[in-house]
Structure 1
Amino acid sequence: MVQPLVRKIVTYAEEVLIEGRREVPRPTRFAAAAAVIRSPWRGDKFTEDLKPAILSHATLLGELLVPRLMDLAGGAAAVEAYGKAAVVGADGEVEHASALIHTLRFGNMLREAVGGTSYLSFTNKRAGPGCSIDIPMTHIRESGTRSHFLTISFNIPDAPADDEIVIAIGAATAGRPHHRIGDRFEDMKEMGISSNNTVLKEG
């Protein structure tokens, strides 16, 4: 199997101390770790079966990124929200970006590291060098907790090149500072909506 050809690893972190002109109750840390890789499907006109490259890449990318993200976040126990993203260069398909993050071989590594049960929020798109890499996040266990509907954004000036894919994961150590809009479960209770109504529950 072809192993991932990693050109660079990029990490990003920020710590929020003041929001809305008020100090936050405790500093909130946002962190991301990304790998810039050569696309395993570069140069192909169309690849019907993406699975061989998924099998050879996804687990190794998780092993590469998850420990770095945990270090940036201050340890797995500190993580309250998480997400993932992939950006394919101009010569690739969005499906190529999707393939490497939408597999349990990748996502479960982050989920298991932090004891999460929620799905990992995601973005996958095609773009060029310097584009915004946006990682949406939700609470690691309580997906309806709106305080943890978050996004971490950063960019890599020289990536992705046309034949590359950027694979990224993100984490936050708390919800939005001074969050005060409640959560969807409160809305459901106020509106008399049954918890069995999965469509409205996910809205």
Structure 2
Amino acid sequence: MSLEIRKIVCFEEETLVEGFKKAEKPLRMLAVAAVVKNPWAGRYVEDLKPVVRDYGPQLGKLLTDRICDLAGGAENIEAFGKAAVVGLNGEIEHASALIHTLHFGNFYREAVEAKSFLSFTNTRGPANAAISVPMMDKNDGGRRSHYLTLQFNINDAPADDEIVVVLGGATGGRPHHRIGDRYQELKELGHDVENPAAV
């Protein structure tokens, strides 16, 4: 089954003023989305792996190349995330299948030399549904300045038999971030900063 892409959508947002104060450095948040035909639409398929292994690398490379170009180079991406929205004739599992695979995500992680996992959303909705891409620092999951969410929509996607697959990126953290990082609170609470997962 061949990958059918109906369109590719690029989205960019640049924040110059936040909270009534000019940003010291404008924040660019970016997304690249592929609107693809859902190969499993309208039926239950037990084994999703063959399509995932076929589509994952194709989508991973395409979207990674596009978002790195949009950012002016992979080195400019500090925070990242991913999302998928399946149309109404599909399952949430179909959205999940295309983004929760190393065959897809590793292209992006390797391009930006990341240590963190890609934060994500996977949802179902009609055309023009909100697409939310949560992001975090590519190397430090506890760095709260880079907890960001980019939201946009595509007026004619997903159709009932489509999936929108998205990569998101940001060139920095929130302007004027001042809530600190997770590590300060771990220390305050007397927890092990070196092993935060134990909390």
Category of TM-score, reference length = shorter chain: over 0.9
- 63-72 vs 131-140, which deviates more? 63-72
Paired with 1:55 and 1:15, the residues of 2 have a C-alpha distance of: 35
State the AA in 2 paired with 1:194.
D
Residue in structure 2 matching 1:66, options 64, 77, 93: 64
Match of 2:6 in 1: 7
Residue 24 (structure 1) aligned with residue 10 (structure 2): no
Q: Deviations over 1:13-70 (max 9, x none)?
A: 01111111211111111100000000011232x1110001101101000111111111
Q: What is the CA-CA distance between 1:166 and the residue it aligns to?
A: 0.3
Structure 1 residue matching 2:145: 3-state secondary structure: helix
Matched residue pairs, number? 198
Structure 1 residue matching 2:188: 3-state secondary structure: helix
Match of 1:112 in 2: 110
State the AA in 1 paired with 2:95.
A
Paired with 1:197 and 1:7, the residues of 2 have a C-alpha distance of: 43
Q: Deviations over 1:130-167 (max 9, x none)?
A: 01000000000000000000000100001001100000
Match of 2:147 in 1: 149
Q: Any gaps of 5 or more consecutive residues in structure 2? A: none
Does the 8 A contact of 2:186 with 2:196 survive in 1? no
- 3-12 vs 190-199, which deviates more? 190-199
Does the 8 A contact of 2:67 with 2:169 survive in 1? yes
- 61-70 vs 166-175, which deviates more? 61-70
State the AA in 2 paired with 1:13.
E
Task: State TM-score, norm by structure 2.
Answer: 0.97
**Runs of 4+ that moved beyond 6 A:** none
Structure 2 residue matching 1:3: 3-state secondary structure: coil
Match of 2:53 in 1: 55
Task: State TM-score, norm by structure 1.
Answer: 0.95
Match of 1:100 in 2: 98
Structure 2 residue matching 1:42: 3-state secondary structure: coil
Paired with 1:53 and 1:40, the residues of 2 have a C-alpha distance of: 8
Q: Percent identity?
A: 54
- 14-23 vs 180-189, which deviates more? 14-23
Paired with 2:15 and 2:196, the residues of 1 have a C-alpha distance of: 36
Paired with 1:102 and 1:148, the residues of 2 have a C-alpha distance of: 22
Residue 83 (structure 1) aligned with residue 56 (structure 2): no
Q: What is the CA-CA distance between 1:199 and the residue it aligns to?
A: 4.5
Residue 192 (structure 1) aligned with residue 190 (structure 2): yes
Structure 1 residue matching 2:68: 3-state secondary structure: helix
Q: What is the CA-CA distance between 1:198 and the residue it aligns to?
A: 1.2
Does the 8 A contact of 2:29 with 2:168 survive in 1? yes
Match of 1:167 in 2: 165
Paired with 1:23 and 1:93, the residues of 2 have a C-alpha distance of: 43
Match of 1:41 in 2: 40
Q: What is the CA-CA distance between 1:169 and the residue it aligns to?
A: 0.5
